Amino acid sequence: MLAWILTLSGAAWFKLNGLGMGFDLGMYEQVIWNTAHGRAFETSAFRYTNNHIGADLIVLEAILAPLYALLPDTMTLLVAQVIAIAFGAVPLYLLTRDRLQSNWAALGIGVAYLMYTPLLYLTLNEFQPRAFAMVLILFALYYLDKTRFAPYAAFLFLALLTRSDVALIVCMMGALAFVWRKPWKFSLAAFALGAVWFILAVFVIVPSFKTDSGGFIYFETYDWLGKTPVAVLTTVLTKPAYVLQTIFSPQKIQFLIQVFGPTLPFSLLRPDVLLLAAPTLALNLLSQYNVQSNITRQYAAMLYPVMYASAVLGIAWLARQKWLTTRVTRAHFVHAAVVWILFFTLAESLWVGNPVVSQYRKGASPRVATVRALIADIPADAALGISNHVGPFAGKRQGFYFFPPHEYYTHNTFEVSEYLLIDAQADGNTPGVKAGLIQLQNNPAWQLVAQRDGYMLYHKP
């Protein structure tokens, strides 16, 4: 874990300073920076809210604010994420050790999990609150398996503080507790915590912080199925062929292979554990946005711990089958199965590509000094609009806007910004930035005040 933390922290530094991160990192940093300065959850990046709770209930941002106040640097958030993900190996190690009765098998599963290609992409995908939920759900699963209620309930509650959709997985933990015939309080606590949190967050708290009408913004992702949750469910049940065309597109089949592949066939032997994956699978497979079925993004994060936990318990189930243990010793089978998972985990890294190796090969960009210098020259209290790849360097200011105008983020960038800093080299080929640059060049109110290393800085006097 220590070696992994050091290696991945280095890769995150190279990706940040290699100009490989984008707007989301700056957006999250602004919220945490504002919170650390007494402006709880304040954001300027969104069209429909000036408080990030109006987008999603992420209490984690307030939890990280004191740490960020002590170490006010973008790398503080990135290293905190790396450490949180690394600690997911601990409950997985403990679960494997107890169920497979082997320290070596536990070590192998822990290593496999940390080498899992989708997990590596997630770790380097800027800053994502879901990354912090994974370790908490794994600890909750471990304590459910041990029938220890207090730590089980505590980790479920902590998981709720990361993102509202994690509440659905907490509910599924209650279903798993019921299937496993645990004492009633294990099911009731999870159902109650998850359901109450989800309903309050999505239908009460988040809408109350929005500055425009309408409900939870992320429901719009599923408008093709219906305008309300009930309408979506009705479409899924009454038009299965229509829905399956989206679920089983070639990209989503490849996505499922990449997510499940290294743990097959063992993970499929425990459909009870895979209940935990059901909400995340539904949210990603029912979306028509390709980014939600792409392992280089964060949306599938909550699948990753479930895949390896279900594989461990699948191996444990097979190891109890007499038809198998009469042919091979239990220890030999267990270790062979773990080697199988290790092999296919590493093989996937070769097939898909290892993002850690990629970042170390790319290294830092000399252009990073330019963007940092340009931002340093802009007054700290000035409203700044930025293109995507400038975002990670501009989060420490109250006026932080998206360029070009965006339907979900800043829609009136030209009106609210005093400065615009655009990475024409990295972002200039996108249609929106191209159109925005044409507007700037033809608008006498905006003056080009600096142009260096592919960056263009405009000012509106």
CA distance 233 to 222: 11
- Report in angstroms the alpha-carbon separations of 152 from 22, 185, 304: 36, 11, 20
Domain that holds residue 90: 2-21+80-360
Domain end residue (candidates: 322, 340, 360)? 360
Kindly give, in sequence order, each residue whose CB lies less than 8 Å from that of residue 301, ignoring residues fewer than 6 positions away. Answer: 122, 128, 130, 131, 133, 134, 280
The pLDDT of residue 322: 87
What residues does 458 pair with on adjacent strands?
420, 448
- Whether residues 28 and 67 share a domain: the answer is yes
The pLDDT of residue 335: 95
The upper half-sphere exposure of residue 414, i.e. CA atoms within 13 Å in the direction of its Cβ, equals 16
- Whether residues 189 and 332 share a domain: the answer is yes
Q: Identify whether 66 is preceded by a cis peptide bond (ω within 30 of 0).
A: no
- Whether residues 221 and 315 share a domain: the answer is yes
- Whether residues 152 and 199 share a domain: the answer is yes
The pLDDT of residue 229: 76
Phi, psi of 400, rounded to the nearest 5 degrees: -130, 115
What is the per-residue pLDDT across 385-414, written as a single tens digit (0 to 9) for each?
A: 999 999 999 999 999 999 999 888 999 999
Full pLDDT tens readout for the chain, 461 residues: 999 999 999 999 999 999 999 999 999 999 999 999 999 999 999 999 999 999 999 999 999 999 999 999 999 999 999 999 999 999 999 999 999 999 999 999 999 999 999 999 999 999 999 999 999 999 999 999 999 999 999 999 999 999 999 999 999 999 999 999 999 999 999 999 999 999 999 999 999 999 887 778 888 888 888 877 788 888 988 988 888 888 888 999 999 999 999 999 999 999 999 999 999 999 999 988 889 999 999 999 999 999 999 999 999 999 999 888 788 888 999 999 999 999 999 999 999 999 999 999 999 999 999 999 999 999 999 999 999 999 999 999 999 999 999 888 999 999 999 999 999 999 999 999 999 999 998 999 999 999 999 999 999 98
- Whether residues 399 and 459 share a domain: the answer is yes
Number of domains the chain is built from: 2
The pLDDT of residue 227: 79
pTM: 0.94
Kindly give, in sequence order, each residue whose CB lies less than 8 Å from that of residue 340, ignoring residues fewer than 6 positions away. Answer: none
Which one, of 21, 26, 18, 47, lies nearest residue 386 by Cα? 26
CA distance 325 to 327: 5
The pLDDT of residue 214: 75
The pLDDT of residue 132: 97
Residues 132 and 32: beta-carbon distance below 8 Å: no
What residues does 384 pair with on adjacent strands?
400, 419
- Whether residues 350 and 242 share a domain: the answer is yes
The pLDDT of residue 55: 94
- Whether residues 100 and 54 share a domain: the answer is no
- Whether residues 145 and 263 share a domain: the answer is yes
Domain end residue (candidates: 301, 331, 360)? 360
- Whether residues 31 and 8 share a domain: the answer is no
Domain end residue (candidates: 342, 360, 378)? 360
CA distance 347 to 111: 14
Strand order in the sheet with 447-452: 400-402, 384-386, 419-423, 455-459, 447-452
CB atoms within 10 A of CB 181: 9
